[in-house]
Amino acid sequence: MKIGLDFDGVVSDCGQLKSDGAKKMYGLDIPPEKFKTEIVIGEGLLTLEQYKNLQKEIYGTRRLGLLMHPVEGIKEYSEKLRSDGDELKIITSRGKLESEIAMEWMKINGLNINLVGIGGGISKADACRGLDVYIDDDLDKLEPLVGIVPNLFLFSWGYNLYIRPEKIAKRINSWRHFYEEILKLSVT
């Protein structure tokens, strides 16, 4: 199977890093599960400008960007998928610099997965053509893939638990869960 992965929120856990960054930059204690644009801005925790500056620091500087932690299970289960014969490719909304930082981070963390950075505000649809599966933590990024990628999955985090993905994607709560779903698809 050809499997596409989002980077932030599927491969790397940047929620804690955003929380730490908000504390450092603005003196605010914002829990990681609040770091979804609609929540952090909608609840008045940060202004849009503050959130964009925080994202720029987290994604666009090696100093902070290399401090992210891998999502639990990524290394083990990505290796299992590859050993099962599946092809993995990361398709991210990161731009050129941010993608370079992500690739450097993956190398440091022992993850050898091809990464395609399409840039912010651009649909992932063209980059996802030909995939059998795609997983993202953002339902807005999955919606344009309906009819393009047959099997869509939403990776669960505290910031997206209120979303009902049933008509678009299947909710996944861990890399183990994702691996089990891929095994089921491989049998059919």
Report domain extents, the chain. 2-13+69-187, 15-65
pLDDT tens-digit readout, 15-25: 889 999 999 99
- Answer whether residue 162 shows pLDDT above 90: no
Q: Comparing 12-21, 76-85, 110-119, 133-142, which segment has the lowest mean pLDDT?
A: 12-21
Band of the pLDDT at 114, cuts 50, 70, 90?
very high
Which pLDDT score, from 0 to 100, does residue 80 have? 97
Q: Give the type of residue at 162.
A: Y
Q: What pLDDT score does 188 carry?
A: 67
CA neighbours closer than 13 Å in the CB half-sphere of residue 19: 14
In this structure, what token pair is assigned to residue 18?
A: 């955003």
- Find which of 56-65, 72-81, 159-168 is predicted with most confidence, using mean pLDDT: 72-81
% of the chain exceeding 70 in pLDDT: 99
- Give pTM, 2 decimals: 0.92
Rounded Cα–Cα distance for residues 66 and 113 (Å):
17
Q: Which of 105, 133, 102 is nearest to 116 (CA)?
A: 102
Put residue 147 in one of left, alpha, beta given phi > 0 → left and psi -120 to 50 → alpha.
Answer: left
Averaged pLDDT score across all residues of the chain: 94
CATH architecture of 2-13+69-187: 3-Layer(aba) Sandwich (3.40)
Burial class of residue 54 (count of CB atoms within 10 Å of its CB; 0-12, 13-18, 19+): buried
Max alpha carbon distance in the chain (Å)? 51
Task: Say which residue, 7 or 121, is predicted with more confidence.
Answer: 7
27 neighbors 154 (Cβ within 8 angstroms): no
